[in-house]
Structure 1
Amino acid sequence: MVAAEGIIYILTIVLYGLSVLCYFVDFSQTNRKVNRLAFWLLSIVWASQTAFLVLRIIMYDRAPVITPFEGMYFYAWSLVTISLIVNWFFRMDVLVFFLNVIGFLLMTFSSFSFNGDIPNELETLLLSETLVVHIIFILLSYASFTLAFVFSAMYVLQHQLLKRKLWGKRLIRMENLPKMEKLAGTTTVIGVPLLFAGLVFGFLWAGRWYDALPWQDAKVIGSIILLSFYSTYIYLLAVHHWRGYRMALLNVACFVVLLINYFISSDLSQFHIWYL
C-alpha cells in the first residue's frame, strides 16, 4: 500500500501541474479545447486525491488530517473540490485558474512535510474526534478564505486594468466588480464561523488533555489574530458599509496573515507539533 500511495501522490502532482499549465494557456490565449482538457485533468486530480485520502484512512485507520502533510493535502483537496463545483455550475475559468495555482503550490509544499503516521506514544492524545473536528473546521475555513482572497485579488486586478484602460479578452472573462465584491464578502462570512468553531473545538480538546490552555503558543495567538482580522473585515462590511477597492485590499491583507499563521507560526509553535 505504501508503494501505491507514493505512485498516486506523484501522479497527482504531475497531472495537477499539467492542469494548471493548461488553465494558464487558456487564460493567456483563450483556447476552449485547452480549457476542457484542463477541466478533465483537474477532475482526474480530484479523483486521485480522493483515492489517496481513502488509502490513508485504510492504512492508518483514522481521519487523514492529523499530520502537517495530511493537513496541507486536505487543504489542497478542498480547493480542487471548490474549483470543480465553481467550474461546473458557474464557469468562472479565471477564478479556477488562480485558485488552483494556490492548490498546486500547497501540493508541492506538502512533499516537504512529514508524510508518515503519528508516533505510537501520541496515538491516545491525537486520535480524538474533537481534535479531528477542530482540524477539519480550521482547514475548511482556510479554503473559504482562500476563495475570498482569489475573488478580492481578481477585483484588484480588474480595478487596475479598468483604471489604466487596458481592455482585452482577460478583462472580459472576469466577473464584474460588484459580483466579485459580493462573493468575496460571502465566502469570508462563511469562513469566520468555521474558524471560530475550529478554535472552540481546539480549546475543548486542549482543556481535556492539559491542565491549562496554551494561550501563549504562537499558533494559538496567530489564529486569534487571524480571527480578529477577518472579524474586523465583516464588521466594516456589515456595520460601516465599506465597499470597493479598499475592502478588496483588506481581504488580501487578511489572507497574508493567514499564510503567516499557517506556515510561520507553525514552525514557532511548541504545542502544535503533529497537527495544524
Structure 2
Amino acid sequence: MADIMMTRLHEWMVVLYAVSLVFYFIDYLNKDRMAHRSAFWILLVVYVMQTVFLVMYIVETKRFPILSLFEGIYFYAWLLISVSILLHLFSKVGHAVFILNVIGFIFMTIHTFAPNQISNSAVGEALISELLFIHISFAILSYVAFSMSFVFAILYLILYKLLKKRKWSKQFGRLPSLQQAASGIKIGIITGIPFLLISLILGVQWAYIALDEWSLLDMKIIGSFFILIVYAVVLLFMQMGRLRGNNAAWANIFAFLFVIINFFLGSTLSGFHFWI
C-alpha cells in the first residue's frame, strides 16, 4: 500500500510539473501575470513534495542521496527547482527559469519512470501503463490546442473576407473580431507546443523502459518532432512580426494538416504506435 501511494505521489509530481511548464511557457511568450503566478505556485507544490520525499529518504537511509545514479538524478532535479525558485523570487530572468524547469522536468521524469525504479517496484507494470496514459493524454491535449488554433485561423480568413467585401449576415454577430481570432490562433499554438514537448519526453521514456526494440527514426516520432519544429517556427515568425494576418492564419492551417497526416499516416507506418 505504501509503495503504491508513493508511486502515485511521484506521478502527480510529474503531472503538476508539466502543468507548471505550460504556464511558464505562456508567461515566457506573453508576459502573463496570471500564468506567471500559477506556474510558480504549482512549481512550489512540486518543490515541497520533492523536499519532503528527499528528507524522508535521508532519514530512512541515514545518508545523503548521491551515491548512485538514480539518487543523483533526483537530487539534481531538486537542485534545479531550488535554483529556479530562487531566480523567480530574487531576479527577473524568465528565460533562465523556464529553461531550468524544462531540464528539471526531463530529469524528474527519468527518475520517476527509470527502468531500475520500475523493476524494483511492486507496481512496475501499472507504472509503465500510467506513463503511457500520461504521454497519450498530453499528446491529445496538444492536438486539441492545435485544433483550436486551426479553427480560429479559418474564422480569421472568413471574417477578413466578409469585412473586405462588406458583406453582413445574421451570423456575423456570432463571429469573433479579427483581434479575437488572431489571439485564439496564438493561444492555441502557445498551449499546444509545451503539451506536445512534454508528450514527446514522456513517450521516449516510455519506449525506453517498455519496448525491447524501438528507434528514434520511427515515423511517428519523426513526424511528432517535425510538427513541434513547424509550430515553433510559425510561432517564432509570428512573434517577430514576419507572419501576420492572413499569412499567419494560412501558416497555421498548413501546420495543422501536418498534425492530421502524422496522426493517421504516421501511426499507420509506426512500428509501435498501435493504439490508433
Shift of 1:171: 2.2
Q: Contact 1:229/1:254 (CA < 8 Å) preserved in 2?
A: yes
* 2:67 match: none
* 1:227 match: 228
Change in Cα spacing, 1:208 to 1:197, as seen in structure 2 (3 Å) is same
CA root-mean-square deviation: 2.1
1:39-91 CA distances to partner (integer Å, 9 max, x unpaired)? Answer: xxxxxxxxxxxxxxxxxxxxxxxxxxxxxxxxxxxxxxxxxxxxxxxxxxxxx
* 1:244 match: 245
Between the aligned partners of 1:245 and 1:263, the Cα distance in structure 2 is: 28
Shift of 1:130: 1.3
SS at match of 2:143: helix
Change in Cα spacing, 1:213 to 1:125, as seen in structure 2 (3 Å) is farther
Between the aligned partners of 1:126 and 1:169, the Cα distance in structure 2 is: 53
1:163-208 CA distances to partner (integer Å, 9 max, x unpaired)? Answer: 2332212222201101110121012101100000000000011111
* 1:196 match: 197
Between the aligned partners of 1:249 and 1:239, the Cα distance in structure 2 is: 17
* 1:253 match: 254
| Farther off after superposition, 262-271 or 246-255 | 262-271
1:98-140 CA distances to partner (integer Å, 9 max, x unpaired)? Answer: xxxxxxxxxxxxxxxxxxxxxxxxx959952211110000001
The aligned runs of 1:165-176 (5 Å cut-off) are 165-176=166-177
SS at match of 2:138: helix
Q: Which amino acid aligns with 2:140?
A: L
Q: Which amino acid aligns with 2:158?
A: L
* 1:114 match: none
Change in Cα spacing, 1:126 to 1:266, as seen in structure 2 (3 Å) is farther
* 1:262 match: 263
1:142 aligns with 2:143: yes
* 1:21 match: none
Percent identical:
33
Between the aligned partners of 1:195 and 1:223, the Cα distance in structure 2 is: 8
The aligned runs of 1:1-276 (5 Å cut-off) are 124=125, 128-210=129-211, 213-240=214-241, 242-273=243-274, 275-276=275-276
Change in Cα spacing, 1:149 to 1:201, as seen in structure 2 (3 Å) is same
Shift of 1:143: 0.7
* 1:80 match: none
Between the aligned partners of 2:229 and 2:171, the Cα distance in structure 1 is: 35
Q: Contact 2:149/2:189 (CA < 8 Å) preserved in 1?
A: yes
Between the aligned partners of 1:226 and 1:125, the Cα distance in structure 2 is: 30
Between the aligned partners of 2:270 and 2:127, the Cα distance in structure 1 is: 16
Between the aligned partners of 1:264 and 1:159, the Cα distance in structure 2 is: 33
Q: Contact 1:125/1:209 (CA < 8 Å) preserved in 2?
A: no
Change in Cα spacing, 1:135 to 1:237, as seen in structure 2 (3 Å) is same
Between the aligned partners of 1:241 and 1:229, the Cα distance in structure 2 is: 15
Between the aligned partners of 2:263 and 2:235, the Cα distance in structure 1 is: 21
SS at match of 2:271: coil
TM-score between the two structures when normalised by the length of structure 1: 0.52
Q: Contact 1:203/1:213 (CA < 8 Å) preserved in 2?
A: no
Shift of 1:152: 0.8
Shift of 1:227: 0.8
Between the aligned partners of 1:199 and 1:160, the Cα distance in structure 2 is: 38
Structure 1's unaligned 5+ residue stretches are 1-122
Change in Cα spacing, 1:227 to 1:187, as seen in structure 2 (3 Å) is same
1:218-276 CA distances to partner (integer Å, 9 max, x unpaired)? Answer: 11111111111111111111234532110011111111111111112111212211x25
Q: Contact 1:214/1:271 (CA < 8 Å) preserved in 2?
A: no
1:25-47 CA distances to partner (integer Å, 9 max, x unpaired)? Answer: xxxxxxxxxxxxxxxxxxxxxxx
Point out the structure with max Rg over C-alpha: 2
Between the aligned partners of 1:126 and 1:157, the Cα distance in structure 2 is: 47
Change in Cα spacing, 1:263 to 1:193, as seen in structure 2 (3 Å) is same
Q: Provide the aligned length of Structure 1 versus Structure 2.
A: 153
Q: Which amino acid aligns with 1:194?
A: F
* 1:26 match: none
SS at match of 2:167: coil
